[in-house]
Amino acid sequence: MKIVIVCYPTFGGSGVVATELGLYLVKKGYEIHFITYKQPVRIQNLTLGLHFHEVHVPTYDLFKYQPYELALSSKIVDVVKKYKIDMLHVHYAIPHAYAAYMGKKMLEDEGIQIPMITTLHGTDITLVGSHPFYKKAVQFSINHSEYVTAVSQSLKNDTERLFDVTTKIKVIPNFIDVEKFKLNTVPCEKGQIAPNNELIITHISNFRPLKRVIDVLKTFKIVNEKLKVKLLMVGDGPEKERAKRYCKSQQMDNSILFLGKSNQIDEILCFSDLFLLPSEQESFGLAALEAMVHRVPVVCSDVGGLPEVIDNGVSGFLCPVGDIKAMADKAIHILEDHDRHKDFKEQAYESSKKFEMEKVISNYESLYRKAKQTYLG
Ligand code: GMT
């Protein structure tokens, strides 16, 4: 089967999920065509069956805003026609679902029918999508997709609450390659980061306000008073400078490292002892799942899809948003006792198996087959 995947090529969860999905499908014999404005960060090499088509938007002085959707929908039309594509799978509604719908309609004009699957990831619904500026267009694109999937039950509920949805939404959670980490094969060099055998607490995000990175630092501060710990802040985004200033003002800069955007998430998580994710909202929390597969217990906020990913008291703890004291207490509880910590680590890994890649992706494959049968005969 030949599938076009439209996604963001960046470090964000939706881009990661779309890329890992495409890479897995290529291994299973599918022909996958990524259409995006830059080669996705998790694609190292283009192999047989894996294609990348760049959307180029030439700048033109007349335009205050460059029309990316237009360029994207034209690119979709070209690729579908040239490679005889069977299906469009778009990740993140804005503007991908909208552009794909336009592409689909243009193709229809030329007698080509193509089904479209839209996967909702979270902020395209809860944060940006439901804003009055975008709501109508997002709702329209959702309702004109043949199939819509959401990465958690919580996101499905939010979508149905915020929009007038007429298409049935199927929950297909995010996934992880559990097998890859079974044997702990990632090189694990903890010594350089923690020369005095400190415990490592890690946070990974895009440092947007909803990630509440100052809560990470405040939680760490309390833990640091009790235990020998270090904090790794991985990622980049609008709150990073404020976070750095906060560390300085609290004289914590010796025990906190800002590592920036990284392609070495596995190498960092493999020696991490605890993962903190105090987000205001999280439709799934892929970063938490990535931590769990590395046997890293998670302390996070009790919001959105996080309770579907973290088993409270088993793979970590869920705490009320902003309750820094509770998060610090839970972190200390896990870390202060070596045997307890070991149990949480194993339990985190065990919990991650619920999201085993092969099992989860088979749901997408069923959807592709159904779409092909129903719409292409
Ligand atoms: O979390 C972000 O800010 C990035 C965003 C994205 O679209 O890349 O993440 C969303 O999609 C991820 C993949 O499905 C989910 O794991 C994240 O929870 C979700 N983020 C939010 O809902 C805030």
Domains of the chain: 2-175+356-376 (3.40.50.2000), 179-355 (3.40.50.2000)
Which of 119, 121, 364 to mutate to test ligand 1, by most ligand atoms within 8 A of the CB atom?
A: 121
pTM of the predicted protein model: 0.94
Give the mean pLDDT of the chain.
Answer: 94
* Interval between CA 295 and ligand 1 midpoint (Å): 21
* Separation of alpha carbons 374 and 173, rounded Å: 24
d(CA 194, CA 377): 59
Q: What phi, psi does 120 have (nearest 5°)?
A: -90, 140
CB 14 within 8 A of CB 8: yes
N-term to C-term CA, the chain? 14
- Could you tell me what percent of the chain has a pLDDT over 90? 81
pLDDT of 24 over the 70 cut:
yes
Predicted pLDDT of residue 27 = 95
What whole-number distance in Å separates Cα of residue 294 and Cα of residue 286?
13
Confidence of residue 182 (pLDDT cuts 50, 70, 90): confident
Q: From CA 229, how far away is CA 256, in angstroms rounded?
A: 9
Amino acid present at 230: K
The pLDDT assigned to 170 comes to 98
Check: CB of residue 213 under 8 Å from CB of residue 244.
no
290-316 pLDDT tens trace: 999 999 999 999 999 999 999 999 999
Between residues 363 and 190, which one has the greater pLDDT? Answer: 363
CB 42 within 8 A of CB 70: no
Does any ligand 1 atom lie closer than 6 A to the CB of residue 286? yes
| Distance between CA atoms of residues 169 and 163, nearest Å | 12
**What tokens were used for 45?**
């090499």
Residue with the smallest CA separation from ligand 1 atom 23 is 282
Secondary structure of residue 229 in the 3-state scheme: strand
CB-based contact 112:81 (threshold 8 Å):
yes
Contact 150, 169 (CB under 8 A): yes
Whether residue 10 contacts residue 235, with contact meaning beta carbons closer than 8 Å, is answered with no
Band the pLDDT of 188: cuts 50, 70, 90: confident
Q: Model confidence over 341-377: pLDDT tens digits? A: 999 999 999 999 999 999 999 999 999 999 999 987 7
| DSSP type of residue 119 | E
Residue 164 Cα to ligand 1 midpoint, Å, equals: 22
Q: Which neighbouring-strand residues pair with 299?
A: 276, 317
Q: How far is CA 47 from CA 31, 127, 172, 225, 333, in A?
A: 10, 36, 27, 50, 46
Q: How does residue 183 score in pLDDT terms, banded at 50, 70 and 90?
A: low
Name the residue among 248, 239, 277, 272 with its Cα closest to residue 341. Answer: 272
Q: Which amino acid is at 99?
A: A
Q: What is the 283 CA–ligand 1 centroid distance (Å)? A: 6
126 band by pLDDT with thresholds 50, 70 and 90: confident
* Contact assessment for residue 304 and residue 310, using Cβ atoms and an 8 Å cutoff: no
Query: What confidence score (pLDDT) does residue 186 get?
Result: 66
- In angstroms, rounded to a whole number, what is the distance separating the alpha carbons of residues 183 and 218? 34
| CA-based R_g, the chain, Å | 21
Angle of helix 213-226 relative to helix 324-335, nearest 10 degrees, comes to 50
Q: Ligand 1 centroid to 121 CA: how many Å?
A: 6
Instruction: Report, as an integer, the average pLDDT of 25-34.
Output: 97
Judged against a pLDDT cut of 70, whether residue 237 lies above it is answered with yes
Q: How far apart are CA 75 and CA 188, in angstroms?
A: 42
65-114: per-residue pLDDT in tens? Answer: 889 999 999 999 999 999 999 999 999 988 999 999 999 999 999 999 99
For ligand 1, say whether the CB of 352 is within 6 Å of any of its atoms: no
Task: Give the residue-averaged pLDDT of 14-42.
Answer: 94
The answer on pLDDT for 212 being more than 70 is yes
**Any idea of the CA torsion for 332, 337, 340, 342, to the nearest 10 degrees?**
100
Average pLDDT over residues 317-341: 98
Cα–Cα distances (Å) from 159 to 122, 164, 165, 171, in that order, read: 9, 8, 8, 12
Say if strands 87-91 and 316-319 run parallel, antiparallel, or are unpaired. Answer: unpaired
